[in-house]
Structure 1
Amino acid sequence: MSVEATGIPNAEALYQQAPCALLLINEKGLILEVNQTFCQWLGHTREQLIGTRKLQELLTVGGRMFYQTHWMPLLAMQGFITEVKLDFLTSQGTVAPMVLNAGRREHEGQVLNAVSAFIVADRMRFEQELLQAKRQAEDALQRHVVLEHELNRQRELAVDRALFAEQMIGIVSHDLRNPLQVVSMAAQYLRSQDMTERQDTMLGHIGEATTRSQRLINDLLDFTQARIGQGLAVSRAPIQLDRVVAAAVASLRLLHPHREIAFSASDEALFCQADADRLAQLLGNLVSNAVTYGDGASPIDVRVSAAQGTVEIAVHNVGNPIDETQLSTIFSPMTRGAEAGREVRSVGLGLFIVSEIAKAHGGVVEVVSTAQAGTTFAVRFPAYASGGH
């Protein structure tokens, strides 16, 4: 089958319309042959180039310098050059970047250089976009490093401020004990004297105030110890839990004479290992919470029980349920209820201390609060420490 029959262009047409520029130059760069593609790219005719122009004359100033100092010496030395980028000037004065390959050959005693070239304008734009994206990424990374450094600095400052505040709480709370003890001793002495009914009432208020202040100081000291140290210290010893809790409830009845506090325990004697003073403190905080937020007309129920090596202390009260949004943070420090109409306020450490005491005994504290059933705080911990009985 002949070429004409198949409709395939002849070799000359393929050469002239090749997708790359094809040139033939002599040792001095004079253009001896060129295809139509190169002419179209630069806006010249073949007649304007062949035998009249040198390849280097079509380059930018920088391209001419490279051609003279690198291109020709390297081509003469090794006989070929691959993928060298040079900028050509078009007839309109614009720049046409091209990548060139060249090979040296001899023909009838004459040295000739065959050159092929490809327009790389799109490639350059892509490379410039990549370079710009790289610079933007580096700038973003630098900004991120600066912001991270500033964030770390602010975090360190916040930690220092928090530590300082907690240390100050501990120091102030400790120093407040002495004047309160003086007030308490003076009130006890005055009670032994003949007092009028009004004076006796006022001394009662002084006693209640000093008791509340002492409990607040204890909470602040425990908070400081828990946050700065390694948790609350407990001294576990064998106790009969129902008797310890019953004695604590009796003291709480004196502290809250206007509230009914009921106590119950399971039939069996509840022996365990625990810190009796810490459990009394835990119970005091739970009952105080029930007094503050519970229904004043309904009793507060305190119950102790045991099951499968675990003991439980539960405090229940009737009243408005705890908002669901507060349940997840109710045992966090400085968290408190904000029920309208309440006159009693605290710094919000009571339930945090309860949680820390439970943890110190290897246990947990949980709360269930609904409108129908009321609110129950339950503290559960192992009856005996690991390895102890």
Structure 2
Amino acid sequence: MSVDLFDNAACALAVTAEDGTILQANARFSEWLGLSSAELCGRRFQDLLTMGGRIFHQTHLAPMLRLRGSVTEVKLDMLHHDGHKVTVLLNGNKREQADAVVYDLALFGTTDRDKYERELLNARNLAEALLQEKTATEIALQQAQAQLSEAYAIAQRRALFAEQMVAIVSHDLKNPLTAIRMASDFLKRGERTTKEHQLLGHIAQSSERAHRMIADLLDFTQARVGHGITIKAAPLDLHAVIARAVDELRLAFPKATLEHQAQGHGDACLDADRVQQIIGNLVANSVAYGEPLQPITITSRLGDTSCEVAVHNHGAVIAQTLLASLFEPMTRGTDQGSGVRSVGLGLYIVRELARVHGGDVAVSSCAINGTTFTVKF
């Protein structure tokens, strides 16, 4: 190796005798330890190490060089002239000359390597921490899903029990309610004072209202718990059925103005009782939420391929946010009309009856045209 290449090498280079005495050192070696080449030559290499480094040199490094003839990437701490440590990686080779054995040493700085190793270790620690966090999150998610499933199952059982209880109670209420209605009708036949006729009228209206609510509850439980609402479709004159329903509703709601409009001609195949129930629920809804001084219009339409009924009222506009859930059970738009109907099942029953007839129900509501519920069969 030329002297110029030895002195200007990118790493620290030194040549030592077999006992570790430095015979030659380049400029980078001198720079790292703060000693001149003249100060280094004649000193033993192991004397430039920390105490731990000297022990390692004596017990491992020197024997390995003597026996194996080389070492690779041995990490050592050397002492700078001012006392601070300089960490290096040492590569060494044994070389035999004519009259002696020497060791060629190459030392590489570890600052960048240590930094890289620290960053690598930090990245690994971070990855392990994230993995642990992910694992913990997955476990927590599984536990939450299990708890949610259990809570859902409990809620389903409670809902089923509640619906079954509603069905039982509603069914059992029919008998005493029928007795009340029969007693009221019987008492009306005799001579009564004006006050007594008024009280009997209140009893009749209240029992009729209770009868409608019980019918809705029974249909609700039939749709939710049983096998669905059943119908008995038969040919009928739609306009005549609607006209009869409107006449009966005028008696049930004497303060409301009910108008019937018939459009088109022809027969339909529907369940007459269920159609009247649809009209009754929609009219009751209009009475509850519509403008009391404006008429409620019931329209029956028949065409070559269409059959529908519609109930229109003037009243407050139904908010857009309520339209999507308007036909769900136990749903109310406002508290208005709570004195007319005490359970929110009317529109739900209308939808179920429309669907069991193969159709559906829709609603439109605006300030100019009012609110219209349309049932298509």
Which TM class, normalised by the smaller chain length?
A: 0.7 to 0.9
Gap change, CA 1:295 and 1:37, over 3 Å in 2: farther
Q: Taking structure 2 as the reference length, what is the TM-score of the superposition?
A: 0.73
State the distance in 2 between where 1:223 and 1:33 align: 103
Q: Aligned pair 1:52/2:49, yes or no?
A: no
Q: Aligned pair 1:335/2:331, yes or no?
A: yes
For each residue in 1:138-169, what CA deviation from the matched residue of structure 2 results, as whole angstroms up to 9, or x when unmatched? 34421353155225414531452254134213
Q: Structure 2 stretches of 5 or more lacking a match?
A: none
Deviation for aligned residue 1:101: 8.2
Gap change, CA 1:173 and 1:117, over 3 Å in 2: same
Aligned partner of 1:312 among 308, 311, 315? 308
Gap change, CA 1:310 and 1:267, over 3 Å in 2: closer
2:147 is aligned to 153
Alignment of 1:1-40 (within 5 A): 11-12=5-6, 14-15=8-9, 18=10
State the distance in 2 between where 1:307 and 1:24 align: 112
Q: Aligned pair 1:290/2:283, yes or no?
A: no
Segment drifting more, 261-270 vs 189-198: 189-198
Aligned partner of 2:123 among 99, 106, 130? 130
State the distance in 1 between where 2:103 and 2:183 align: 125
Deviation for aligned residue 1:319: 1.4
State the distance in 1 between where 2:329 and 2:224 align: 10
Q: Which amino acid aligns with 2:118?
A: R
- Percent identity at matched positions? 31
1:258 is aligned to 255
Alignment of 1:33-112 (within 5 A): 52-54=44-46, 68=60, 76=68, 86=75, 88=77, 102=91, 106=95, 108=97
CA contact (8 A) 1:103 1:114 kept: yes
1:384 is aligned to none
CA contact (8 A) 1:336 1:347 kept: no
State the SS of the aligned residue for 1:191.
helix
For each residue in 1:144-196, what CA deviation from the matched residue of structure 2 results, as whole angstroms up to 9, or x when unmatched? 53155225414531452254134213323422332342232243135324362
State the SS of the aligned residue for 1:192.
helix
1:175 is aligned to 169
Gap change, CA 1:308 and 1:165, over 3 Å in 2: same
Aligned partner of 1:191 among 171, 185, 195? 185
CA contact (8 A) 1:363 1:380 kept: yes
2:114 is aligned to 121
Q: Taking structure 1 as the reference length, what is the TM-score of the superposition?
A: 0.72
CA contact (8 A) 1:300 1:317 kept: yes
1:356 is aligned to 352
For each residue in 1:78-101, what CA deviation from the matched residue of structure 2 results, as whole angstroms up to 9, or x when unmatched? x785xx695747659988777x58
Deviation for aligned residue 1:265: 2.7
Q: Which amino acid aligns with 1:172?
A: V
CA contact (8 A) 1:170 1:220 kept: no
State the SS of the aligned residue for 1:297.
coil
State the distance in 1 between where 2:245 and 2:109 align: 98
Q: Structure 1 stretches of 5 or more lacking a match?
A: 1-9, 382-389
Gap change, CA 1:181 and 1:140, over 3 Å in 2: same
Query: How many residues are paired up?
Result: 359
Q: Aligned pair 1:299/2:300, yes or no?
A: no
Q: Which amino acid aligns with 1:251?
A: E
State the distance in 1 between where 2:251 and 2:351 align: 25
Rg: which structure is higher?
2
CA contact (8 A) 1:334 1:347 kept: yes
Q: Which amino acid aligns with 2:351?
A: S
State the distance in 2 between where 1:28 and 1:281 align: 114
Q: Aligned pair 1:212/2:209, yes or no?
A: yes
Gap change, CA 1:52 and 1:325, over 3 Å in 2: same
1:5 is aligned to none
Deviation for aligned residue 1:312: 2.1
2:244 is aligned to 247
Gap change, CA 1:356 and 1:94, over 3 Å in 2: farther
State the distance in 2 between where 1:156 and 1:196 align: 61
1:371 is aligned to 367
CA contact (8 A) 2:177 2:211 kept: no
Gap change, CA 1:363 and 1:187, over 3 Å in 2: closer
Q: Which amino acid aligns with 2:217?
A: L
1:323 is aligned to 319
Gap change, CA 1:337 and 1:53, over 3 Å in 2: same
For each residue in 1:274-314, what CA deviation from the matched residue of structure 2 results, as whole angstroms up to 9, or x when unmatched? 44443333322211111100011122111122457343221
State the distance in 1 between where 2:20 and 2:303 align: 102
